[in-house]
Structure 1
Amino acid sequence: MAKKSVMDTAIRSPLCFHTLVYSGAAHKAFHQSPTVDNSKSAVLRLTSKVEAIKSLRSALQSQATALTDEVIFAMALLAIVGHGENVSAVEKRERRTMSAEQDGQFYASMEYEWQHMKAVIEIIKMKGGLHTIRLPGLAFALASFDIHTSIMFQTKPSFPLFMPSSPVIGTWLTSQPRSPAFQRCLNLATGFYFLTDLGLPTAIELLKVLNVIRDLIVAFDSYQRGDGEAPPIKMIIFARNLNQHELLTLPDLSEELFSSSLAYPDSPTSLKTHRALALYEICRLCAFIFQITVLLPNLHDNIDVTIPYARRIKRCLQCATTELHLHQDSTYHSFFLWVAIMTAWSVRSTTLYDWFVDFLVQHVRAEMIGQEVDYRESLRMTVEERLARFLWLESECEAPCAEIWEDVKASLILDEQCAFC
């Protein structure tokens, strides 16, 4: 329906026609083999872009057309594919389902015109909001862009939540506790139950968001297996976006965590508050890491996105261990293991990676302090079983995290019984 409506609009609107030709030619040039001669396509991209910009300028100068869906559609596409005349064929094809389904590899490779996208957002607000857009698929695409760029820049979304994620996920068979898909992942997200004991209302809200991520993982795993009970991939993506909006709008309590009044907790009450804030922030930030590495995999390739998250998590971990000594509480041993491994994955090609590997080495050694049994005896569960109690998708997480664990083992010289899986 959306494609037909866009094509019908393009037939009636020269602005949309030239924009679609330009965008389509850029897509084709990107996905063609590197051996294909794209010189003719380059001419088409350049000429259609010039015509699209001319039409857009004309439309923006008229009060009758400045706030139309056609203008918003063209402005958004041109802002995203603004340098499409320079695109070249990709050498390595993206095969991951979440990325391939939304052509994430193409959009992640684009050099965006951010000022133009800000203008699009302002036009939509002047128009009355996303709900006033009638062109099928356009409001969803713009909301998705808003959510994903908010994750990139650690900002709040520009538009309100379209609808809660829970009613959508609640209709899926995979979300029913007795379903085969759910039964395969019974321990998933159970490691976060300590959030209920922190005395923070926001921690309870965070747990609700994490439980929705659990249901998304279960559904996506079921889809990958080809189960008949799995929801369609487009519905999974729709619910994922809603859930990401909910995660983005949770309070950021880092200022409270690092405020001067809590810098040196000198009472049991102050210490408890400080610890609760640290655990909440680490959990919230690492939920974004999971979104980036697993559910929005193309953002994982952008170190400008992952490094700021990793730095914030590093600071929180330093506070939680050095100042608050939370690592001495066995309740959080597996949690810190998951946080450090997932964050190390997100910064694998950077100098921050070594810090997280070293943290893991020290963390594992600290688990053994005061224990009479050796490490192989203390880890009756495998490392993967411990990680799978948080946010975990085996098809995506197992291989990269096993490689990280090998780096940790190289320092620890662990027994074979402490293998990853």
Structure 2
Amino acid sequence: MKVLFIPCDGDGHAKKTVSEEGVTRTQHAAREYHKKAKLRRAKTKDQPVHDKRSPRKSSSASNSTSSTDTPTDEPLDIELEARRQSPNQILLGASRSDPFNTIGDSDSGIPLYVHEMLDHAISYHWSEMCLTDGGGPNAARTEIMQSVMHSPAAWYTIVYAGATHNAYQYGGRGTTKQNEQLRLMYKTKAIRSLMDYIQENGDKVSEEALLSMITLASHGTGESLKGHDSYKRQNLSFLSHLHDVEYYVSMDTGMEHLHAVYSIVDQRGGLRALRRKSLAIVIQLCDILTSWRDLQRPHFSLLAPTKWYISMRSHQPDTVAQGMLDTLATGFHALVSDGYFGLDDIVKVADSTSIFSADFDQLLSTHDLPKDQRPLQTPNMALVRYMRWCVLHDILMLRDYSTDDNIPTEQVLHEICRLILCAYAVFVVVPMPPRSKLHAKIAERLSSILIRAVKLGVPGKQPDLFLCAVAWGWMCTEKAVGYRKLEKLLGSYTTLLEFTVVRRKPESWSTVENILKSFLWMDTYCEEPGRKFWAGACGLAEGENVIGQDFS
């Protein structure tokens, strides 16, 4: 360390020592600083420097440089080193990463945007789908970031997914050219990196490669960006919005990637054998959502049974939630009490669904309250978020009797109950947009099984169940926008209404509502379409001209 002694006068002020040329020490230091800075700038730009100083002053400065090192030399060296670094590295900071040299040209403007999309993926995209049972969202973010740092395929894929999700959020406003170019480039690089990895490693697929494959599977072509406008997204139920169900439903599924993931995970012993839990959950949810879109059984079993997650609940249900727990699913229990013991699996799933519904309703009622007004005992949001997928998985795992011929009454009742659960799920558990065509599928299957039920005399034996099924079928039909057989389907339910026993009068709504609540119901999502159903039913009873069908 070099010390510079500055002479002071009696008052403690520095004396202005003047050199032989009449230049003060301060002026000399300032000139040296600006001269070196000018040389550095010229060196950086590879341009010659023309010293505009007078020969006398330049000579003086040159002579003094060799003999005197000012205390500014060390900071200047630091500044020079900083100038040699990429501007993006300075902007990104030490915490940002570029493991695969994607920074590129400092004048392109793309690199910083790449990291913005990575931040978006980690902070807003993956944290919504990667749920944990104790570590919170940070655990998932950490695991995803570890994969990104160790695998080029994961790096390109996650950035591509983040850019796609960001583009979706623009809705009707359109996406930027920068975003379109990044998605095209990084998707190409992701696929190429994944192919290179598989060619080099064969069947020894890492979990980072699995993450890349399941991400590509969930995004398909990645071109269906029919996102909601911001004001519409804000009106979505907050759990649906957090899970981005709308986003993933808008994507077509890359089934080749998904089937490859199924095969690899099966060879390793299933999802529980994966080291990264966030990866197992991502694959689990992608499997459930893909199966839900087609009303099929999921490929994988749950990481833990639904009852285990139910046992993790620690809050106290409020009065409304307790009332729901006392009422919901009692209609299914009544069927078993009537001797239909083959419906035990239905009752078990209905009980889990009612618990989720009560917790969900209690969470919704307190979510918009200021923090200081929220009760201490509220459901755990992460647990409710994950329970919905577990409940949906259990519903989809129920046996499907719709394709069986000449099935007995008990199996007809089983199929009616299963489809009621599916209808409730599409409205409440994991809501799906009408463009998914799922409402039409459920309504079509309910209509078919109810026609068979009429022939078996079910409306007289189980009038409450029959009315409940007709109501859910009608409500699903109302959501089947664009369905080519919509008129025929509405006509079918119009005729099925004739077999219900409740008088179709507006004042009978309370009776109908109580029947529906004895099975599965949630006012927030069901009351409006339910009232619309009963208004339509009453309108038909008053003589509206609607074509019916004969099931005899």
The TM tier, using the shorter chain, reads: 0.7 to 0.9
**Distance in structure 2 (CA, Å) of the matches to 1:18 and 1:105:** 24
TM-aligned CA distance change 1:407 to 1:19, over 3 Å: same
Q: Which residue number in structure 2 is paired with residue 246 of structure 1?
A: 394
Equivalent in the alignment of 1:355: 491
Kindly indicate whether residue 264 of structure 2 is the aligned counterpart of residue 132 of structure 1.
no
Deviation, structure 1 residue 60: 1.0
| 1:325 counterpart = 2:457 | yes
Q: 2:456 and 2:425 mapped to 1: Cα distance?
A: 28
Q: Is structure 2 residue 418 aligned with structure 1 residue 295?
A: no
Alpha-carbon distance, 1:179 to partner: 6.1
Shift of 1:151: 2.8
The partner residue of 2:415 within 263, 276, 281 is: 281
Residues 187, 389 of structure 1: 8 Å contact kept: yes
- Counterpart Cα distance in 2 of 1:81 and 1:375: 48
Q: Which moved more, 1:186-195 or 1:283-292?
A: 186-195
Alignment of 1:208-247 (within 5 A): 208-226=348-366, 228-247=376-395
Which amino acid in structure 1 is aligned with residue 432 of structure 2?
N
What whole-Å deviation, never above 9, does each CA across 1:92-150 have from its counterpart, x for those lacking one? 42611231021111111112211221111112112332122223411112112212222
Shift of 1:411: 1.3
Q: Which residue does 1:306 correspond to in 2? A: 439
CA shift for structure 1 position 290: 1.1
- Once the two structures are superposed, residues 315-362 of structure 1 have per-residue CA deviations (whole angstroms, 9 ceiling, x without a partner) of 2111111x1122123xx2232222112122222234155135404531
Rounded to whole Å, the distance in 2 between the matches of 1:342 and 1:380 is 15
In angstroms, what is the RMSD of aligned CA positions?
2.7
Greater shift in the superposed pair: 306-315 or 399-408:
306-315
- Alignment partner for residue 308 of structure 2, among 163, 167, 183? 167
1:73 equivalent to 2:184? Answer no
Show the counterpart of 2:283: 142
- What's the secondary structure of 1:298's corresponding residue? coil
Give the Cα separation in 1 of the matches to 2:340 and 2:200. Answer: 52
Contact 2:171 2:227 in 1 (8 A): yes
Aligned pairs for 1:5-44 within 5 A: 5-32=143-170, 34-35=172-173, 37-44=175-182
Map 1:31-70 to 2 at 5 A.
Answer: 31-32=169-170, 34-35=172-173, 37-63=175-201, 66-70=204-208
Mean Cα deviation higher: 294-303 or 214-223: 294-303
TM-score normalised according to structure 2 size:
0.65
Distance 1:150 1:22, change over 3 A: same
Larger radius of gyration: 2
The amino acid that maps onto 1:293 is F
2:157 and 2:212 in contact (8 A); partners too: yes
2:222 paired residue number: 84
Partner of 1:337: 467
- 1:404 matches 2:538: no
Structure possessing the higher relative contact order (Cα contacts under 8 Å, 6 or more residues apart): 1
Deviation of residue 224 (structure 1)?
0.3
Aligned counterparts of 1:33 and 1:68: Cα–Cα separation in 2: 35
Distance 1:252 1:85 in 2: 34
The answer to whether the Cα contact below 8 Å between 2:506 and 2:534 also exists between their aligned partners in 1 is no
Per-residue deviation, 1:375: 6.0
Shift of 1:233: 2.5
Per-residue displacement from partner, 1:254-301 (whole Å, max 9, x unpaired)?
A: 455x33xx6xxxxxxxxxxx2222111100122112112211112554
Q: Is the 8 A contact 1:340 1:356 kept in 2?
A: no
AA paired with 2:397? T
Q: Deviation at 1:385? A: 2.3
Of stretches 85-94 and 245-254 in structure 1, the one that deviates more from structure 2 is 85-94
Deviation for aligned residue 1:237: 2.5
Change (3 A) 1:35 1:104: same
Point out where structure 1 has 5 or more consecutive residues left out of the alignment: 263-273, 369-373, 415-421
Any idea what SS the aligned residue of 1:51 has?
Answer: helix
The amino acid of 1:233's aligned partner reads M
Contact kept in structure 2, 1:290 and 1:391, CA below 8 Å: yes
Q: 1:29 to 1:117 in 2, by over 3 A?
A: same
Cα deviation code 1:141-166 (max 9, x no counterpart): 21122122223323322112322212
Mapped contact 2:151–2:209 kept (Cα < 8 A):
no
Mind listing any 5+ residue stretches in structure 2 that lack a counterpart? Answer: 1-138, 367-374, 544-552
Q: 1:279 to 1:89 in 2, by over 3 A?
A: closer
Letter in 1 for 2:444: R
> Aligned pair in 2 of structure 1 residues 299, 121: CA closer, same or farther (>3 Å)?
farther
- Residues 189-218 of structure 1: CA deviation (Å, up to 9, x unaligned): 212223214545431121011011010100
Structure 1 residues 37 and 68: alpha-carbon distance in aligned structure 2, compared to 1, 3 A threshold? closer
Aligned to 2:9: none
Cα distance in 2, alignment partners of residues 86 and 299 from structure 1? 14
Q: Read off the aligned partner of 2:381 and give its amino acid letter.
A: I
The residue type paired with residue 110 of structure 1 is M
Pick closer, same or farther for the CA change 1:174–1:357 going to 2, 3 Å: farther
State the 1:381 CA deviation: 3.8
Of the structure 1 ranges 294-303 and 282-291, higher mean CA displacement relative to structure 2 is found in 294-303
1:346 aligns with 2:346: no
SS at match of 1:405: helix
- Contact 1:19–1:49, Cα closer than 8 Å, also in 2: yes
